[in-house]
Amino acid sequence: MAKLNSFEDIIAWQKSRELNKVIYYITNSNTNFFKDYGLRDQLRRASVSVSSNIAEGFEEFNNLKNKISEVSKLISGFIKYLNSTL
């Protein structure tokens, strides 16, 4: 699996953006959606929510990953220090 540098690299995010375009196309071109603004807006918000949640989840993951890496380095340094004092 390739390294993910940003949420844009996630295939699920890419596919959800394609879904957004299809939903917007359908809700713009179908006259039934012109009459039912509520349904149209709900469908649009739901499709955008998928890509937004993936992006937000990726950012939270990156924050945790950075903190874990920092703690790991500190523990490793502490172990080296303790070994050198024995």
> Does residue 4 belong to any structural domain of this protein?
no
**55: Cα separation from own chain's centroid:** 2
Concatenated DSSP letters for 16-35?
A: HHHHHHHHHHHHHH-HHHHH
Instruction: Give the range of the structural domain holding residue 24, as residue numbers without chain letter.
Output: 12-85
Q: For 3, list phi and psi in degrees, rounded to 5.
A: -70, 135
Write out the two tokens for 83: 């070994």
> Does residue 3 belong to any structural domain of this protein?
no
What pTM value is reported for the model? Answer: 0.70
- pLDDT for the residue 86: 79
- Residues of 23-42 as b/e, b for ≥16 C-beta within 10 angstroms? beeebeeeeebeeeeeebee
> Does residue 68 belong to any structural domain of this protein?
yes
Domain count, the chain: 1
> Does residue 6 belong to any structural domain of this protein?
no
> Does residue 48 belong to any structural domain of this protein?
yes
pLDDT digits (tens, 9 = 90+) for 26-76: 999 988 888 899 999 999 999 999 999 999 988 888 888 889 999 999 999
- pLDDT for the residue 77: 94
